[in-house]
Structure 1
Amino acid sequence: MKNRLLFFGLCFALLHFSPIAYAETMTVDADRFELFQEDKRADFYGHVVVHRHDMVMKADKVKVWYQEIDGKNELKSLDATGHVMITTKVKQGSADRATFEAGSELLVLTGHAQVKDENSVLEGEVIEYHTATENIKVLKGKSGKQVQFTFGEEAK
């Protein structure tokens, strides 16, 4: 009986914390909206503001792909372009473009990419940020500009 309860408790925990079973609420405000049912895509234009969990993203244009899981539409991926600004409780980011894959929790900032927190500034052409682990990879782009990392008082 004890093992059976442990098994059901473990199954409940896995279902409760699984990113597939748990649908996160996302809201989007924009000047204009288009829905493409066949592609399972929604396009937002003009002063776009996306709220998801503890993240706020602002951009000129955002395309959102969704998927149906257990009868509910959930975020699959996102592509933001134009004056992209991202804010969380501890980090701020900016770039020309940002993509996000919900399954892998990978946020990629491209073009004049920058990520700041209270103690540091990272700059490069491409910044890959894993939102679940907070691991960051900064890559230089085709322009040849080197990666720059500033920390301490100068970062402020």
Structure 2
Amino acid sequence: MINRMRIFSLSCIMALGLAGMAHAQTFSDSFAGFGSDNKEPIEIEAANLQVRDKDKSAIFSGNVVVTQGEAKLEAQRLIVFYSGSMANGNADGQPVQQSISRLEAKGDVLVSSKDQVATGDDASFDMEKQVVVMTGKRVTLSQGPNVIVGKRLVINLETGKANLDSSGTGSNTGRVRMLLQPNSLENKN
């Protein structure tokens, strides 16, 4: 089990990333760089880890905290889906490198980086398509004093395009709300 955890941790460090920002920040920057920054190590803490090599998944549960540099992901449960095998290695005895294809964060999800915070009930990170979807009764993005609220957030990490809507069913419909403080988004170089 220790070797599986070590191989999995190494693959996380190589395949996952919570990148720092080098450009003017936007609301979508809280998610920017997932899967693109291999320079900083990743630390994952959780109460439990269950590796399901047959299903090609690893399940972290119990107050999961993922950090890299200034970025942090918190959730009650994190499921990491990967390709490759964590068992035994290749014919030369070398561990097989996994590629993380998808992350599913469940329960009180919080993503933060510098002065940006995004919260929701659940989040899905599709590493291959570079798309993040965060959902919940209340999905909130904030940067300093600026706040935007909806129910479903979709971010294309390649283009930086973000869509937030408030669609719901029945009486659970609403509107997207935004509060911007004057001059708060100016680039401070």
Query: TM-score band, normalised by the shorter chain?
Result: 0.7 to 0.9
More strand by share: 1
Q: Distance in 2 between matches of 1:43 and 1:108?
A: 19
Work out which structure has the larger RCO, using CA pairs closer than 8 Å and 6 or more positions apart in sequence. 2
CA offsets per residue over residues 118-154 of structure 1, 9 Å max, x none?
352111010112334332100112121111111115x
2:150 matched to which residue of 1? 124
What's the counterpart of residue 27 of structure 2? Answer: none
Aligned-residue CA RMSD in angstroms? 2.7
Q: What residue ranges of structure 1 are gaps of 5+ in the alignment? A: 1-18
Gaps of 5+ in 2: 1-34, 86-95, 185-189
Partner SS state of residue 39, structure 1 = coil
Would the aligned equivalents of 1:24 and 1:74 in 2 still touch at CA under 8 Å?
no
CA offset at residue 75 of structure 1? 1.8
Q: Which residue does 2:65 correspond to in 1? A: 49
Match of 1:93 in 2: 118
Cα offsets for 1:41-74 (capped at 9, x unmatched): 00111010123575311011111101239x4112
- Give the TM-score of the pair, scaled to structure 1: 0.74
Identity over aligned residues, as a percent? Answer: 21
Deviating above 6 A after TM superposition, structure 1's stretches of 4 or more consecutive aligned residues are: none
Matches within 5 A, 1:1-156: 26-52=42-68, 55-68=71-84, 71-111=96-136, 112-118=138-144, 120-142=146-168, 143-152=172-181
Residue pair 1:23, 1:74 contacting (<8 A) in 2 also: no
What letter corresponds to residue 178 of structure 2 in structure 1? F
